[in-house]
A and B are shown apart, each in its own frame.
Chain A
Amino acid sequence: MSSSGKTGLRCEAIRRSLAQRHGQDPGAGAIAGAALGLWREVADCLAPLIGSRGVDALVRRSLQLTTPAFPWLGLSGERADGLGPLTGIKPLLEARDPMAATEASVALLVAFTDMLATMIGASLTDRLLDPIWTSPPPKLPEETAS
């Protein structure tokens, strides 16, 4: 399969996964929360493998690649709270309309997975990240407790 075909499939899988996490007719806040949740899962999956600094470096590059299409993403300053380069984008997504927030979230995750595939190959990337796109959202601790 061509790389653009692969990207298309990944894009659809990421979009489905995001929708699964934010539910129907979400506001921009729910979309931002779902997107951050997905990023957390991605980081949890990859950090043991390539180190948290390795994940942060890829996220920074993804932000740079996505900013031309969504210039407002460039306003996300990295906070000094040690939570990595993504912490600044939540308020930016919340401030947009739901469609723009969805498109930017999907584009950022697609840029990240495409770049990872360029680095370590599509096969290994899919092997590592497909479970995130295809599995139901993990239950939050309070949900598990109830």
Chain B
Amino acid sequence: MSQKVCIKQLPSGVPGLDSILGGGLPEFSFNLITGPPGSGKTTLAHQMMFALATRERRALFFTVLGEPPLKMLRYQQQFSFFKPGMVNDTIRFVNLADAVASGRFDQVLASIMKEVEAFSPGLVFVDSFRSILLEATPHAKGALGPQEFIQQLGIQLSSWQATTFLIGEEPSASDTHPIFTVADGLLCLYQSVYRNSMVRKIQVTKLRGQATSPGIHTFRITASGIEIFPAAVVPGDTESGSATAVAPRSDGRLAMGVPGLDAMLGGGLPSGYSLLVAGPSGSGKTILATAFLAEGVRLGQPGVIVAFEQTPSQSWTRTIDDLVRSGKIGLINTRLLDLSIDEIVQHLIDLIHRMKATRVVIDSLSGFELAVAPTFREDFRESLFRMVSVLSGLGVTVLMTSELEDRYGDLRFSPNGAAFLTDAIIVQRYVELDSRLNRVMAVVKVRGSAHSNELRQYEITRDGIIIGAPVVGYEGLLTGRPTRTPASPTAPGRRP
């Protein structure tokens, strides 16, 4: 039997936090939560405290000179995690202002330890340690200084078998401050302001003995408290499939729900593929995506749609609404303009698992890019890559739409290089033939599969997309200046 110590990990109660901590909060660890005013430090501490406190593991929350305790209690109650019934039972608040006002670190330490010994907590919070460091100063030679105070606090609380959190703004000269050496864990909260949007971010800078998720993760504060969106991790080649995959990999193909399109794709869209449908405004991308989802529902394959451009007046939106209302497809419809891709990916993954979805539609990448906070737009392509990889790891088949500017001299399938990331591409275009504006569609690629290379006319009717005949007898259609092929005088839309 192993004689090594096994550190128990406490579930933090904050969605997403355990994931970036590498499993949970190490029991009896001494942690710092730092960040500027308004970054969510106190909220994070309260959320963890109300989640973790039990009769067997009681919590002591020391308030100092930072936020007045009355206000803290008033505002923290706005969150659903705050349970007044736990106060003075499993949770005790203690104000340290008088001890701190004495200006002596040893008196502050004695006050903390007196309360700890009286209440015997398994969790201790001190909000804020910065106030203590600023207010208390060693009076006499030989008196406890800030460094010894922090070290003593860490030693005594760890010996008392309490998991401890010191909360506060980052002390100046942070890289050399002893508190960072003493701490087992360091959670840094930021507010990233870029142009007119603000995004909240969190980083686990240090956590002894655990493989944390490196990098900066975004989070949001809602009425339920803090929700962290761990940065999506691209599964490596060595991983033998994701453990959370909802759809087993298969060689099967998915029906698109548009007559004739499956044949163009070489027999349907290969399962697990990502398909980009690119076309100008009004070309029917959303209609095609809706048909894809509706066909899935018909075949017992649940789907999920992430919509950024839905307007209630559209009949096809009503189709989606009907499917959503009947619980056959899941919908993420957001008009927030400060999203991180990781936030969407997290909600999408949750919904995919909940719906056991195998088909996913993102409509559209253009709307998605607009909804993402400006600070993330520079990295949009990389983030898209991560998202597509994560969805691919889940085994779902993804259809993404992309608004395509009708610039005939410049044939691109998406403004952000998404074409490179996808396994299949369908392009829709307008072409002028015989003084009429016609819609045409072609399959540009289906990775590892034969597919049609025809440019097919199509119409949008009440029954959906009707694919017609190939456009023959013309060349240069995609340049916007088609000319009749001299060798073949056949009219467009008619089979030779």
Contacts and interface: CB of A to CB of B under 8 A. Distances in A.
Interface of A: 47-54, 58, 119-121, 123-124, 127-128
Contact of A121 (B68, B69, B77, B94): B77
Given A50-B95, A51-B95, A128 B70 contact: no
Contacts of A51: 63, 69, 95, 97-98
Contact of B68 (A54, A124, A128): A54
Contact of B94 (A48, A54, A120): A48
26 contacts: A47-B95, A48-B95, A49-B73, A49-B94, A49-B95, A50-B68, A50-B70, A50-B95, A51-B95, A51-B98, A53-B97, A54-B68, A58-B70, A119-B70, A119-B73, A120-B70, A120-B77, A121-B74, A121-B84, A123-B84, A124-B77, A124-B87, A127-B84, A127-B87, A127-B88, A128-B88
Interface residues of B, number: 17
A24 to B, nearest CB: 33
A96 B93 CA distance: 39
B74 A119 contact: yes
B110 to A, nearest CB: 15
A119 B73 CA distance: 8
A120 B70 CA distance: 7
Given A47-B95, A51-B98, A52-B98, 9 more contacts: A50-B68, A51-B63, A54-B68, A54-B95, A58-B70, A123-B84, A124-B73, A127-B87, A128-B88
Looking at chain A's contact residues, the main secondary structure is helix
Contacts of A52: 98
B85 interface: yes
B271 to A, nearest CB: 53
B336 to A, nearest CB: 30
- Listed residue (B68, B73, B94) with the most chain A CB atoms within 10 angstroms of its CB: B73
A127 B98 CA distance: 24
B95 A128 contact: no
A49 B63 CA distance: 8
A133 to B, nearest CB: 15
B184 to A, nearest CB: 28
Interface in B47-74: 63, 68-70, 73-74
A121 B63 CA distance: 19
A128 B97 CA distance: 20
Nearest to B95: A51
B42 to A, nearest CB: 15
A53 B98 CA distance: 9
Contacts of B74: 119-121
Closest 7 CB pairs of A and B: A51-B95, A124-B84, A123-B84, A51-B97, A120-B73, A50-B69, A49-B93
Given A54-B70, A119-B70, A120-B73, A127 B95 contact: no
